[in-house]
Chain A
Amino acid sequence: MLSRYARRKFMNVFVRSTCVAATVIALIPLVSVLYYVTSRGIGGISLDFFSELPKPVGESGGGMANALVGTLKLIFLACVFGIPPGVLAGVYLAEFGASRFGKLVRFSADVMSGVPSITVGIFVYSLVVLRAKHFSAFAGGLALGVLMLPTVTRTTEELLKLVPESLREAALGLGLPKWRATLRVMLRTAAPGIATGVMLAVARVAGETAPLLFTAFSNPFWSSGLNEPTASLPVNIYNYAVSPYEEWHRQAWAAALVLLLLVLLLNVSARLLVRSRVGAR
């Protein structure tokens, strides 16, 4: 029989290789999907794509410029509606969350993360669109923001809780008021991790279609400001992908590729921002 030491060494190697295997397995579908999207989408990427409005079937040179701008608008609105309330709610849960009220909030956040995006869309539709009697980017952004809330809140809470108390004690010991200690010291330390959670939420809502169908609607033309229906990449991808036309399919794949790159870009910039402010880890 193996000696105890040998068994421990074996376990170590075994688990490590299992973790490597898990990573490889996790990456296989990604590679497959990326290959799929790129091979079908790269043909549709052209200058036209970024500068032209959509054209109907049969006419060449159409693009998705308005959808690209629309998605940026919607992501911006989603961040406005989702990040500040989400982070601050997470701070509340981490600081004061042991009470019954805190448990209720935590529970609500968990349950809310399971609400289908279409339900949130219908909810915002009845709240905003029916009253205003028109679709708008504002409504779309609100729906996406609501979708982001649970992820941002829970991630903030969990990561704040992990910051060592010694940091807080040091801050308090130096005379900082409690709220300053939390915001400037604890939150700042947890910021890179929170940024990850936020980026995850943004990545997810950037690709959501269902909630936008009844809120932001879509638009074949440019939409000005935030109060008009606006085109967006996911809705266009959906509309084009379910159409019968090969050239629209190509545009859909190209849009999917652009959406991926957009989210990647946002991800990188957010990480860099946070890292430069907070100090590299």
Chain B
Amino acid sequence: MFARRNLIVGLLLGLVACKGNQPAPAPAASDVAPALKKEDAISLTGAGATFPYPLYSKWISEYNKLNPNVKINYQSIGSGGGIRQITANTVDFGATDAPMKEDETKQASGKLFHIPATIGAVVIAYNLPEAKGALKLTPEVLVAIYAGKITMWNDPKIKADNPEAKFPAKDISVVYRTDGSGTTAVFTDYLGKVSPDWKEKVGVGKVVKWPTGLGAKGNEGVTGQVKTTPYTIGYIERAYASQNKLPMAELKNKAGKFVAPTIEAMSAAADAVEVPEELFVSLADADGDAVYPITSYSYLLLYEDAKDAVKGEALAKYVWWGLHDGQKFSKDLDYAPIPQKVLSKVEGRLKQLRSGDKKLLTGA
């Protein structure tokens, strides 16, 4: 009775199997081809943070043009997911916005390196039909808004920093992220640094118990709410604000200056903070005139000792490329490149990658 259906299904399968074995499209003629080898195809898998996904997919595509036999598959299932997958060895590398905690690193099957790969910023987007210039916010006001202490747009504290702007007598609609996210971790890290009260009462993390507001899912959910609902304020990754043309607030940094979240301001934050041995550090509330205070690194997670030498070498070479040639794609996609002084430290760490006794990066 199901014979005919089985026949059709079988045909479909045949079609699918044929299609499935199609090789990747021929690479464009490349002018730079240092790593083209006549080897078998190498497939690498990575999982983790959503934030750097656009940049990494650009890297993967460009690297594949240069090295057609290396196929890298990165999926954004979340920083926590990335940490879990690399710990369980179902992927070759992980990616996370928030560095791993000690109890997480203990569960890994080997030593994991954090490699800062790019820099991003969390911006405060808002929907204020009456506003003309950029909204200026101080840390105290921002904390108060998210703590539910300032509830109206025409509150005198907001007016104090924005003397020329007009504010309506409307409630502030506060939006936060309901899903666990590195963006929340970075934002609350900043709030915790500028307000010990916040750190104590609410805390820092990928998911926190927000005193007030509505939860939206994902950066796009917050963006959607801010875009469609007037008098809303929310925190999102810079790319979402700039791509959706949402106004971004200027924040008062530690040095007392109101700074807009430009790429230069993000780089300034990275320049201002010394990167320690473990290669992970918080860039929130960095000290410097041109610094944008809610900036953060995004990290790649690699095992120091790769089980598969061939894959390990391919991965090491890819990450090296990403940290050098790959950085030139950052600006167009709303990321800031890794500063040179951090890069030299990272290079040293990458050279430590090995498989057994064999070092994976020689020369380069």
Contacts and interface: CB of A to CB of B under 8 A. Distances in A.
Interface of A: 52-59, 69, 72-73, 76, 79, 129-130, 133-135, 183-184, 187-188, 191, 213-214, 217-225, 228-229, 239, 241-246, 269-270, 273, 276-277
Contact of A222 (B20, B240, B334): B20
B90 A134 contact: yes
Nearest to B88: A130
Given A217-B47, A273-B5, 6 more contacts: A72-B12, A76-B13, A76-B16, A183-B1, A220-B61, A222-B20
A79 B10 CA distance: 12
A246 B334 CA distance: 14
Given A229-B45, A244-B223, A269-B8, A218 B16 contact: no
B326 to A, nearest CB: 12
Contacts, number: 119
Interface string B278-296: 0000000000000000000
B5 to A, nearest CB: 5
Contacts of B60: 56, 220
Interface of B: 1, 4-5, 8-9, 12-13, 16-17, 19-25, 43, 45, 47, 50, 53-54, 57-58, 60-62, 64, 71-77, 81, 88-90, 218-221, 223, 237, 239-240, 242-244, 332-334
Contacts of B237: 244
Contact of A242 (B12, B45, B50): B50
22 contacts: A52-B25, A53-B24, A57-B57, A76-B9, A133-B88, A135-B90, A187-B1, A188-B1, A218-B73, A221-B71, A221-B73, A222-B19, A222-B24, A224-B21, A225-B17, A228-B43, A242-B218, A242-B219, A243-B220, A244-B239, A244-B243, A273-B5
Closest 8 pairs (CB-CB, A-B): A244-B243, A56-B58, A244-B240, A244-B239, A242-B220, A224-B20, A56-B57, A56-B61
B53 A72 contact: no
Contacts of A72: 12, 16
Nearest to A73: B16
Determine which residue in A184, A245, A270 has the highest number of CB atoms from chain B within 10 A of its CB, and name it. Answer: A245
Contacts of B76: 239
B16 A221 contact: no
Given A69-B20, A76-B13, A224-B20, A243 B54 contact: yes
B45 A221 contact: no
A55 B240 CA distance: 19
Contacts of B5: 270, 273
Contacts of A220: 57, 60-61, 71-74
A183 B76 CA distance: 47
How would you classify the secondary structure of chain B's contact residues: helix, strand, loop or mixed? helix
A52 B22 CA distance: 12
Contacts of A223: 20
Determine which residue in B23, B53, B75 has the highest number of CB atoms from chain A within 10 A of its CB, and name it. Answer: B75
Determine which residue in A54, A73, A219, A221 has the highest number of CB atoms from chain B within 10 A of its CB, and name it. Answer: A221
B13 A214 contact: no
A218 B13 CA distance: 19
Contacts of A246: 243
A135 B45 contact: yes
Nearest to A228: B43
A69 B17 CA distance: 9
A140 to B, nearest CB: 13
Nearest to A222: B22
Nearest to A184: B1
Contacts of B334: 244
A106 B195 CA distance: 56
A73 B223 contact: no
B57 A69 contact: no
Contacts of A56: 54, 57-58, 60-62
Contacts of A225: 17, 20-21
B24 A191 contact: no
B45 to A, nearest CB: 7
A241 to B, nearest CB: 7
Contact of A244 (B71, B74, B219, B332): B219
B243 A245 contact: yes
Nearest to B236: A244
Nearest to A219: B73
Determine which residue in A57, A183, A213 has the highest number of CB atoms from chain B within 10 A of its CB, and name it. Answer: A57
Nearest to A87: B2
A79 B20 CA distance: 19
Given A222-B24, A277-B1, A229 B73 contact: yes
A57 B218 contact: no
Determine which residue in A72, A134, A242, A277 has the highest number of CB atoms from chain B within 10 A of its CB, and name it. Answer: A242
Nearest to B241: A244
